[in-house]
Structure 1
């Protein structure tokens, strides 16, 4: 019986970190939508834009990967919150980096539903999320 109690001893911390993670995911969605000049939700939900769905999906995955690094390496909830905000900034930076350097017409291409642009955006977002998570292992 002690084995069962030992197994669920961390359930409270799990729940707390998980709820904060979900809250940060919503904050990320708002921040990312604010940074991008197009409305991803409208493009995906109303226009059924595959490029926007792929690009935004990659950004969410990249953020989640970075956030998982923050959870794994944080010392407490405040530390986790700080690194969660860093992850949001890094993902917004990834979009800006792509938009203003490698693919200046990324917004136009996603608006035009060019799947290749969505795939590149998703790839860069996931790559930045992986790098961000690795860099949090200080």
Structure 2
């Protein structure tokens, strides 16, 4: 399950962006050639985030296709299949490029009842005391 290693890398990037604030959600873009299984990634992310600012955070994954170029007929297109054949002529002599990226696109910061330096908490409620 290579998703554990990927989840650890994502968590590291999330923690840098969060700067100690609680994280509610992370959105990643993953290339099809990484062959990430979404339920496995969800499980891995929940496992590696235990005890961190991202504990309990959801992870949203968008899979991006790779480019496929057929050397036999010249067809150019996209594919989500790392073992693709040309959809036009069926030939297996294809060049597959891209589809191997892993990008943390965004994080959603959750509410925190205690914001350092702000006795009003995350919502700026002046009636709250520290």
Q: Which has the larger radius of gyration?
A: 2
TM-score normalised to structure 1 length: 0.29
TM-score normalised to structure 2 length: 0.30
Which has a greater percent of helix?
1
Which structure's relative contact order is higher, taking Cα pairs within 8 Å and 6+ residues apart?
Answer: 1
Which has a greater percent of strand?
2
